[in-house]
Structure 1
Amino acid sequence: MGYATSKDGTRIHYEEQGNGEPLVLVIGLGGTVDAWKQQVPFFSKDYRVITLDNRGAGLSDAPDEPYSMPIFADDLKAVLDDLGITRTAMLGLSMGGLIVQEFYHRYPHMISRLVLGCTGVGAGDPEYVYPEQDVMDALQPPPEGMDLYQQALRKIEIFYHHEYIARIPGFVEIIMEKMKDSGQAPHAYRRQLEACVLNKESYWNSPRLKNISVPVLVIHGAEDRIWPLQNAQYLADNISDVEFVILPNTAHMLFLEDPNAFNDAVNNFLTRTKK
């Protein structure tokens, strides 16, 4: 475990495990290093795996000021500099997918290949396909007076596939406990949400996709309601060196809903494209 200091003085928490070629995992909205429990043990057998808490989440600082993809990319650069990493494979999920795209456009020489999971081009982009209104509503901070059970229920319904929910007894209660333990300040969640969804000027990336010259895996859940599948299709159609994998019977949390299929797809891609 360590901390890197970003350009503006914000401290970013990170962890590393394993040896070998670096592989950086970047999580999305509200997520922390703990989100990768199904991935770190798997990939650290062959890779030096780095995970981090984006600003506003986990053990990283949470300044109450505007966040943006360039700022998140600066935070990520600070972590890599702190670790002495000059070139790495990088996997980003959801908002993390936006962060790693921005990082690539700023520091293309530092990326060997990219995995873009459950993501797209960004809410500020004319090519972005928005989720349905009930999903947008559920992503907002909860209304005053909503109890924790209802908060957990509305998150589950948009993040997870119904078959996955049915397989796990007491899943609502499990999510309630995670929400209690998250420690994320309301302002920090709001700042992250503004950066990736609410601010329609937040990110505009489609014209730059043609500039990505490293191998890319686009991987998406077939039933993702938060990032509708058209977003992944647009990435796959506009990146030159790309593989596109759709995991059936999964939603936005495909890396938890079907970790074996997700890990195998990513690992096969990384192995095939290693130089």
Structure 2
Amino acid sequence: MVNVHTDEFDVYYESHGEGPALVLLHGGGGNHAAWWQQIPHFSAKYRVLTLDLPGFGLSKVNNGVYDTALHPAAIEAVLDDAGVERAFMVSQSLGGYGLLKYATTHPSRVAGVIVTSTLGPIGDEISELNKIGRQAVSHLSVADFLLTKEFREKQPEKVGLFFQLGSFNETGPGRPIRMKNALIGSVAVQELREAIEAGMHVTILEGGADVMVYPPAYARLRELLPEANVQLVEGAPHSDYWENPDRFNSVVDEILDRVYPA
């Protein structure tokens, strides 16, 4: 449990287990504690690093202005402080913005990425298609897009825990301070292609039951970037890591085994 201090922010992170480094980057409704169903599983084989992005959980921004533009620097600060030269990174929703920006600008430090629940940081045609998809669900409440109705009805305890955990954040969905997102559409498809050519594994997961998913955007990404693994996970909602941890962990395991074979 460590706090990293810079001129711009203080970032809290934790390290669990030993082995190749695996960084888990939370979404807008979470923080480091959101991964409580993943840490015991993955720390048996990997050194799992979880962090609070600036403005979430125990991480603070010194000038009080929250922007995803700070996230790549926060990731690097944690890697440096933890003494990690190269890591595999997994993101959920909002965490994908800082992850893809950092990965494409520092490919030598990123063995691979799994981006779940968002195409938001990808530019070019994907950005325009993603806007169409977001507009189609703009009427939904925060609860409606973060957790499925069935899950909210059947597991009220875990629903309550989800939103209690989010209440520790200063910014994010439903929180009092609005966050800017300068990284929307900031990563060109060609940048991803170049990172893959440099040896970085790229998987982008399409949740089959994610209300935020616009299938034509994923279909077009498959055409534009055949070098990447753009993988459909049948039945997966926006917060599959929370609602269906066994499935989420299994999908991630299968991809990690490609990068770190036994």
**What's the TM-score bracket when you normalise by the shorter of the two chains?**
0.7 to 0.9
Distance 1:177 1:109, change over 3 A: closer
1:58 aligns to what? 57
Aligned to 1:157: 144
Q: Any conservation in 2 of the 1:21–1:88 contact (CA below 8 Å)?
A: yes
Question: 1:210: which partner in 2?
Answer: 193
Deviations 1:119-177 (A, max 9, x none): 11438755221345474355xxxxxxxxxxxxxxx322122223323321466655554
Distance (Å, rounded) in 1 between the aligned partners of 2:82 and 2:97: 22
What TM-score, normalized by structure 1, do the two folds share? 0.80
- Take 2:157 and 2:87, find their aligned partners in 1: how far apart are those partners? 39
Residue 238 of structure 2 is matched in structure 1 by 252
Report deviation, 1:230.
3.8
Of 72-81 and 29-38, the range deviating more from structure 2? 29-38
- 1:150-229 matches, within 5 Å, as 154-169=141-156, 173-174=160-161, 177-179=164-166, 181-184=167-170, 186=175, 188=177, 190-191=178-179, 194-195=180-181, 202-207=184-189, 208-213=191-196, 214-229=200-215
The answer as to whether partners of 1:19 and 1:45 remain within 8 angstroms in 2 is: yes
Note closer, same or farther for the CA distance 1:132–1:78 as it changes in structure 2 (3 Å cut): closer
Greater alpha carbon shift after TM alignment, 78-87 vs 128-137: 128-137
CA RMSD of aligned residues (A): 2.6
Retained in 1: the 8 A contact 2:31–2:169?
no
Q: Is the contact made by 2:32 and 2:57 (CA closer than 8 Å) also made in structure 1? A: yes
Whole-angstrom distance in 1 between the partners of 2:245 and 2:10? 30
Q: Tell me, what secondary structure is at the counterpart of 1:14? A: strand
In 2, Cα distance between equivalents of 1:33 and 1:182: 11
Retained in 1: the 8 A contact 2:96–2:121? no
Aligned equivalent of 1:102: 101
Q: What percentage of residue pairs aligned between the two structures are identical? A: 25
Tell me the CA shift for residue 262 of structure 1.
1.2
C-alpha distance in 2 between matches for 1:2 and 1:122: 28
Structure 1 stretch 238-247 or stretch 55-64: which is displaced more?
A: 238-247
Kept in 2: contact 1:220–1:254 (CA 8 A): no
TM-score by length of 2: 0.83
Distance in 2, matches of 1:164 and 1:49, equals 27
Mapped contact 1:3–1:14 kept (Cα < 8 A): yes
Question: Structure 2: where are the runs of 5+ without partners?
Answer: none
Query: Which residue does the alignment assign to 2:138?
Result: 136
Structure 1 letter corresponding to 2:211: R
Alpha-carbon distance, 1:66 to partner: 5.2
Whether the aligned pair in 2 keeps the contact of 1:217 and 1:244 (CA below 8 Å) is yes
Greater than 3 Å deviation, 4+ residue runs: 123-126, 131-138, 169-179, 185-188, 229-241
Q: Once the two structures are superposed, what CA deviation does each residue of 1:93-140 show, in whole Å capped at 9, x if it has no partner?
A: 2121121110112211001111111111438755221345474355xx
Q: Write the letter of the residue equivalent to 2:192.
A: L
Q: In the alignment, what sits opposite 1:68?
A: 68
Secondary structure of 2:138 counterpart: helix
Given that 2:23 and 2:89 are in contact with CA atoms closer than 8 Å, whether structure 1 keeps it comes out as yes
